[in-house]
Amino acid sequence: MTEEKTTAVVVKPTVGTEGFSLLPRTFEELTTFVKLVAQSDMVPKSYQGKPENVMVAIQMGADVGLKPLQALQSIAVINGMPSLWGDGAIALCYSSGALLDIEERSPEEALEKGAGWCRVQRKGMMPIERSFSTEQAKAAGIWGKNVWASYPGRMLQMRARALALRDRFADVLRGLYIAEEAQDIPVVPVVTEAEVTPTRKSETKKSKSETVEVKVETAPPPGETKTVVPETPSEPARTATDEEIGLLLDAMKTKKLKAEAILTELKKRFEKARLGDLTQHEVTEIVKWIKES
């Protein structure tokens, strides 16, 4: 592998009138840099002791034009997904030079009117308006939970802002979710091998010990032997793996479908409200529905 391919962030450290700026030039420098940063207590706790997360955040930040330390302050890893905080998203849109104007309700006004609202205008394009209501939050099962319980007005404001910015500035945000939005995406439970293996072994042992009663109504003709193959008990539907659930989440992100839309479809089709309860077949059906949407 050549050095050109391994330079994740290729910017030369400079000393000038604006002061010293430490930026890695090679992959080796980046590796050393992220280890030092992960040992610091001046970065968000989600990055402390996790140099791998630091590296991913720095690379994601470079993709949208953020310097390493700016990326660590503006990008959060939520439910395994790098996401931008709402204020960081606005900053990127302003710095792109394409954002002409943004209007939105304050948290207090959003709570009073029962919905967050945001209007953005981009150069050369018509303004768009997006909103997110308390009814939508209740339908998604997030109203009154977690941060929504403490800051309902702020969350209504952020969700409306996220919809507007992602719809009009997809090229600037590069597909990154807004952190306040990513917090509401259902977490898929991770099943370890230690939890799965004993069950499979017990099921295998049971299937071998089971006896199948076979009734033969007529005897075979003299000189011939009739072979009877016992019926194999049908196996229960297998629960979807983490990889299959991941494909479902990827499909959701590609189509930019909201979590509440997916959960509504799950309840309607399979009477299930959790991704972790889906079978392999049900995941396939949901992915097919997403692609056709």
d(CA 159, CA 242): 27
Nearest in space to 273 (alpha carbons), one of 287, 284, 259: 259
Specify the pTM: 0.53
pLDDT score recorded for residue 199? 47
Contact 245, 283 (CB under 8 A): yes
| Residue boundaries of the structural domains of the chain | 1-78, 83-178, 242-292
CA distance 114 to 137: 10
Contact 44, 72 (CB under 8 A): yes
Instruction: Give yes or no for a contact between 47 and 53, defined as CB atoms under 8 angstroms apart.
Output: yes
Confidence band of 82 (pLDDT split at 50, 70, 90) = confident
pLDDT band at 235 (very low <50, low <70, confident <90, very high): very low
Write out the E strands in 14-84: 14-16, 19-21, 75-78, 81-84
116 C-beta neighbours (distance < 10 Å), count: 32
Sign of CA dihedral 86, 132, 174, 284: positive
The predicted-structure confidence for 160-182, as pLDDT tens digits, reads as follows 999 999 999 989 988 888 888 88
